[in-house]
Structure 1
Amino acid sequence: MSETHFHPMPDGRRIAYRHTSGSGPTIVFLPGYMSDMAGGKATALFDWARHTGRSCLLLDYSGCGESDGDFADGTLSRWRDEVLALVDAKVNGPVIVAGSSMGGWLMLLVGLALGDRLAGMVGIASAPDFTDWGRSESDKARLQAGETVFDPNPYGPHPTPMHPAFFADGQAVRQLGGTIPIDAPVRLLHGQRDADVPWQISLRLAEALRSDAIQVTLVKDGDHRLSRDQDVALLLRTVEQLVETVT
């Protein structure tokens, strides 16, 4: 297990990260909503990178995992800036961004900001714009009025909150309504038994991205997490093949 380090942001909050150096583009993994770099997919990707001599960066968003901050203050724009600060401080050369669920939305924002440094993207059950298609009109009205909305959490004992700041920022950075000006190769993985993010969202994302170098892989019996051994093996093969494509 690589040691956890902390990167200070300008306001003093510390962002936890793990980094292993190696050859080729650096693979930056972005966890899902209320997830962190200790998750199974992140850990498997980091261990694979270290074993194969690749460069990989993991992090916990502020308010998550070992990082400082309050989750209620978290927004996509805030977390994007944390990712970019770490990339600027710790990574040389091109970057492949891999994002899971909400991380698949955040990877678009990071990829756009990286510009020519973006070598590729891998989305796992990508969930761009879920503040829009994933919320009822009643929920949206409550969030717009400043109320926190809680959802049942199938993965833990406590309900999952969506805070007004996250909702407002999410609505402001929606991506599926027009062309996403990213030309790098993209690989999208999605389970067709995903109860949280419809697999059709990955098809919409593939259509919205300007790149022609896009492949979508649907896992018929896969759920939202895609964390079974065979799912993780698919992720690692996908990342490895993309690395070989762009190097």
Structure 2
Amino acid sequence: MTETRFHALPDGTRIAFRHADGAGPTLVFLPGYMSDMAGGKATAVFDWAAAQGRACLLLDYSGCGQSDGAFADGTLTKWRDEVLALIAAEVAGPVVLIGSSMGGWLMLLVGLALGDQLAGLVGIAAAPDFTDWGYDAQQQALLAAGETVLEDNPYGPEPTPTHAAFWADGQAQRLLGGPIALNCPVCLLHGQRDPDVPWELALTLAEQLHSDCVQVTLIKDGDHRLSRDGDIALLLRTISELP
């Protein structure tokens, strides 16, 4: 089935998802902050997987897209647990996680919880620990005091909010300060003209991952979204060639 369905969590929250059956490992796409499974990269991965006979799972985190809930209530821990619940319900075999921006942080947290079920990771402008390096001292003080920080949104008309609960949870989920105990193949794609996530972060992440099978691809003229036709082609080729 490829239409949108809903998975009910124990508290009644319904998580929207699309699942295409096929050969494994199942590709699971994790969107970025305030994004959802209708985005261009997620849709391209899903359509490619269907054409190739590959299993693929897309989802909307609670408070995003077609899922229940309020975005203000979202945290990395909450969204990680939603992803894990959906994988447990829909996927029997190995999983490749594909994470875009914040989804690249989330894929690390989900991957650590999956254990031997994790077969690979593909990061697109992965942004682990961005609650730490992505805010200045004044913004962090406001967040620590329980305030919401609003920033200009280059991708839409409304400002981008960061809620205090999300920030505090993110600070408790930082990973780059030490080794990251993941041993699967990893491919990291990052644009060197990314104004939101420094491309050097991909090298830091590669260094901290325990796996020796880590490839970093830098796109010299690539922006944060990496949504151009050539960027999408590179992403799909990377997925198809994952060791």
TM-score (norm 1): 0.98
Structure 2 partner of 1:230: 230
- Equivalent residue number for residue 122 of structure 1: 122
CA shift at 1:24, angstroms?
Answer: 1.9
Distance 1:127 1:232 in 2: 19
SS in 2 for 1:157: coil
**What is the match of residue 24 of structure 2?**
24
**Inter-partner Cα distance in structure 2 for 1:67 and 1:240:** 29
Q: Distance in 2 between matches of 1:169 and 1:108?
A: 15
Q: Which residue of 2 aligns with 1:173?
A: 173
Q: Deviations over 1:107-147 (max 9, x none)?
A: 00000000000000000000000000011111111001000
Identify the residue that residue 70 of structure 1 maps to in structure 2. 70
Residue 89 of structure 1 corresponds to: 89
For the pair 1:160 / 2:160, whether they are aligned, the reply is yes
Unaligned segments of structure 2, at least 5 residues: none
Partner of 1:221: 221
Q: Distance in 1 between matches of 2:234 and 2:204?
A: 22
**Residue in structure 2 matched with residue 54 of structure 1 by the alignment:** 54
Whole-angstrom distance in 2 between the partners of 1:74 and 1:193: 29
Q: Percent identity?
A: 72
Residue 151 of structure 2 is matched in structure 1 by: 151
Give the counterpart letter for 1:5 in structure 2: R
CA distance in 1, matches of 2:218, 2:25: 26
Post-superposition shift, 1:92? 1.2
> Superposition RMSD on alpha carbons, in Å?
0.8
Matched letter for residue 6 of structure 2: F
The letter of the residue matching 1:56 is C
Equivalent position amino acid for 1:10 in 2: P
CA distance in 2, matches of 1:64, 1:36: 6
Cα distance between partner residues in 2 of 1:189 and 1:212 = 17
Please state whether the residue corresponding to 2:170 is helix, strand or coil. helix
1:111 aligns to 2:111 (yes or no): yes
1:198 — aligned with what? 198
SS of equivalent residue, structure 2 residue 119? strand
SS at 1:66 equivalent: coil
Residue aligned with 1:184, SS: coil
1:2 Cα shift? 2.7
In structure 2, the residue matched to 1:186 is 186
Structure 1: gaps (5+ residues): none
TM-score with structure 2 setting the length:
0.99
Aligned residues: 243
Q: Distance in 2 between the 1:92 and 1:189 partners?
A: 28
Aligned-partner SS, 1:197: coil
| SS at 1:131 equivalent | helix
